[in-house]
Every structure is written in structure tokens, then in C-alpha cells.
Amino acid sequence: MKKSPLLVAMQYLTWLTQLGLSLATPIILCLLGAWWLREKFALGAWIFIPAIILGVGGAISSFASFAKYFMKKNGEKK
């Protein structure tokens, strides 16, 4: 059964939105955690550097997982 073009467009829009959230969320959560640690334990601004590194690492991992899923999903159709 062939999907309508609107349904396919909405499906791609949903995947794109999910990808954006998956890339932004780890960075934001790590920065919020670093801010909380800085306020709670009176740490310096250096705490944000490891937080950014961990957040970007989480975003890269999320992107790799998404790319693997997307490749697998598109490979099944062909």
C-alpha cells in the first residue's frame, strides 16, 4: 500500500524534530547539571567545560544511533 505524500512528509518532519530534541537535550541537561553543581558546591566556571564535553558526546551518540536506525529503516524499503 502506497503512503500519501502528506503522511510521508509528516513522518520525516517527526523524525527531524526527534533528531533535534535528541541533539539538544544532552547538552542542555549537562549544562543544567553543571550549573547546579557550581551553585551547590561553590565550584568555579571550569565545571562547564566537562559538562559541554559530556553533552556533546551524548549528542554525538544520539546522532549515531539515529543515523543507524534511519539507514536501517530506509534500507528495508529497497
Write the pLDDT tens digit of every residue in 6-27: 998 998 899 899 999 999 999 9
Q: Report the predicted TM-score, pTM, of the whole model to 2 decimal places.
A: 0.81
Gap between the Cα atoms of 21 and 59, Å rounded: 10
pLDDT tens digits for range 35-57: 999 999 988 999 999 999 999 99
Percent of the chain with pLDDT over 70: 96
Fill in the DSSP letter of residue 46.
G
Q: Per the structure block, which three cell numbers stand in for 50?
A: 566537562
In Å, what is the CA distance from 63 to each residue of 18, 31, 45, 48, 70?
10, 19, 28, 22, 10
